[in-house]
Amino acid sequence: MLNERKIRLMTQLAIYEKKEGREDMKLARYYKGDYTRFQAWKTGVAVTIAYLLLVAVAVIYKLEYLIENAFNIDYEALGKKILGLYIIVLATYVIIAMVCYSLKYAASRKKLARYFRMLRKLNHIYLVEDGIVQEDEDK
């Protein structure tokens, strides 16, 4: 009975460590707030770069129009529209990233808690085998 439980636990632990355990161990090094802020910061940088690239593509696409109407364009209004849209896009993506990474962190902590419970059970089995503690009747 003990050997079957030990083998089952060791198999489950090995599968977890091989698949998702590595990522969960990396996340465990951070506090939740630090992790979510760092990921939101990375998302903000990526959104900024993508937005700048999209604006550059739009400028290149409309370059002929911009050259022909260089003196008739209201650059202040255009700049405000571009900046306003950037702020909306950035805020949206950062909020979504914070929520998603917060949920990811919480799920990771639950999986790690289950992993450590299984490790404690395995340790208890080894202690029973060595005769250090008595086996519980209800397990």
pLDDT in tens, 103-117: 999 999 999 999 999
User: Over 80: is that where the pLDDT of 98 sits?
Assistant: yes
User: Over 60: is that where the pLDDT of 6 sits?
Assistant: yes
**Residue 138 pLDDT grade (very low, low, confident, very high; cuts 50, 70, 90):** very low
> If DSSP states are collapsed to H, E and C, what string results for 2-52?
HHHHHHHHHHHHHHHHHHHHHHHHHHCCCCHHHHHHHHHHHHHHHHHHHHH
User: Over 60: is that where the pLDDT of 139 sits?
Assistant: no
Tokens of 8: 């089952």
Kindly state the average pLDDT of the residues 14-28: 91
What was the pLDDT predicted at 131?
80
28-70 pLDDT, tens digit each: 999 999 999 999 999 999 999 999 999 999 999 999 999 999 9
- Cα–Cα distances in Å, from 36 out to 69, 71, 87? 45, 46, 20
Instruction: Give the angle 35-94-83 at the CA atoms, nearest 5°.
Output: 145
* Distance in angstroms (rounded) separating the CA atoms of residues 97 and 91: 10
3-state helix, strand and coil shares in percent for the chain, rounded to the nearest 5: 85, 0, 15
Report the predicted TM-score, pTM, of the whole model to 2 decimal places.
Answer: 0.78
User: Over 60: is that where the pLDDT of 137 sits?
Assistant: no
Of 96, 98, 78, 74, which is closest to residue 86 (Cα–Cα)?
78
